[in-house]
Amino acid sequence: MQDRVLWNVTGGRVLGPAPFFVVGIVNATPDSFYDGGRHDQTTDAVSHGIRLLQEGAMVLDVGGESTRPYAEEVSAEDELARVIPVIQGLSAHIRAEGEEAAVSVDTYKAEVAAKALEAGACIVNDISSCQFDPGMIDVLAQYKPGYVLMHSPGRPGQMQDSPRYDSVVDEIIAFFEKHIRILTAAGLPEDNIVIDPGIGFGKTLEHNLQILASIEAFGVLGLPLFVGLSNKSMFGKLLGLEVGDRKNATQAAIAVLASRGVRVHRVHEVALTMQTLTVAEAMRPGRRVLETKGAL
């Protein structure tokens, strides 16, 4: 795994090098599992994103459609109405403040991705790996954004219907190998891609735990690992915790994953995650000198 991570994004921009990236979640939706409705007004979502930047987020991931299990799909028009003003507001703030940060759009729709990139986003976080909308590959080839290649065996409405694998880790690695070849053949540079094993997407609790226990195996792909397990249902199933009580479990898991080479973490609680990752990095064997804003 890399000691420091670089991520090429739209327009020749490169994020990093850094020991880790924290991706702050900005849900511009009324029905997301954790904070649905809290930031579904543009001004609230932009203010929330700015606060996450101040807490240390390097990427703001703006989503306008919940992808929790069995969530209902929304139209491209509704999704655009939710995300474009937020992306514009956050991008304007980042430019004005000279922030070393980027905006991501969390979508599987080609139209939404293209208009979000025009509005100032420079990363596409796509749960579908271009499988739900074939036009997504053309968007990636044209704009060459940063891209989160995530594993999911189906749409949110069906993905949790009895998921089965013979060997979940081997099958996901093979999936990534196939889709990396497709993306690079289409013209997306490999340096723009990070890989997300899709915790909670078409997996049982045991599948999720097998993936996390074997997370180093994904290093064979040579790309940064992006993991999103913030407050997810796996902690409810494992520990009997309600959604609002999963922060400690989330941070414990992030610390373990950081020690095993995961460098990109998508979270709700940015300030807590920055503390967790700073401590984990300071204690990592063979680390480089760690630059911090305060004393360790």
Decide: residue 136, CB within 10 A, 0-12 exposed, 13-18 middle, 19+ buried.
Answer: buried
Task: Examine the residue annotation and report whether 144 is marked as an active-site residue of this protein.
Answer: no
- Point out the catalytic residue in the list 266, 284, 287, 293: 266
User: For 73, which DSSP code?
Assistant: P
Nearest to 233 by CA among 213, 249, 211, 215: 249
- Point out the catalytic residue in the list 82, 144, 203, 232: 232
Give the C-alpha separation, 237 to 217, whole Å. Answer: 25
Residues 6+ apart with CB under 8 A from 62: 26, 28, 45, 49, 83, 86, 87, 90, 103, 104, 105, 106, 116, 121
Task: Examine the residue annotation and report whether 203 is marked as an active-site residue of this protein.
Answer: no
Give the C-alpha separation, 191 to 189, whole Å. Answer: 5
Does the N-terminal peptide bond of residue 17 adopt cis geometry, omega within 30 degrees of 0? Answer: yes
Catalytic residue IDs: 232, 266
